[in-house]
A and B are shown apart, each in its own frame.
Chain A
Amino acid sequence: GNSVTQMEGPVTLSEEAFLTINCTYTATGYPSLFWYVQYPGEGLQLLLKATKADDKGSNKGFEATYRKETTSFHLEKGSVQVSDSAVYFCALSDRSGGGADGLTFGKGTHLIIQP
Chain B
Amino acid sequence: DAGVIQSPRHEVTEMGQEVTLRCKPISGHNSLFWYRQTMMRGLELLIYFNNNVPIDDSGMPEDRFSAKMPNASFSTLKIQPSEPRDSAVYFCASSFLQAQKLFFGSGTQLSVL
- Residues of chain A having any CB pair with chain B under 8 Å: 32, 34, 36, 41-46, 49, 51, 89, 93, 95, 97-101, 103, 105-108
Please report the C-alpha to C-alpha distance between residue A32 and residue B102 in the assembled complex, in whole angstroms: 13
Check B2 for interface membership: any CB of A closer than 8 A: no
User: Do B106 and A44 have beta carbons less than 8 Å apart?
Assistant: no
Q: Which residues of A contact B104 (CB under 8 A)?
A: 42-45
Provide the residues of chain B in CB contact with A49, threshold 8 Å.
Answer: 100-101
Which residues of B approach A to under 8 Å, CB–CB? 4, 31, 33, 42-43, 45, 48, 50, 55-56, 91, 93, 95, 97-107
Number of A-B contacts (CB under 8 A): 64
B interface SS class? strand
Report if A100-B102 is in contact (Cβ < 8 Å); known contacts: A43-B107, A44-B91.
Answer: yes
Please indicate which of the listed interface residues B56, B98, B102 has the most CB atoms of chain A within 10 Å of its own CB: B102
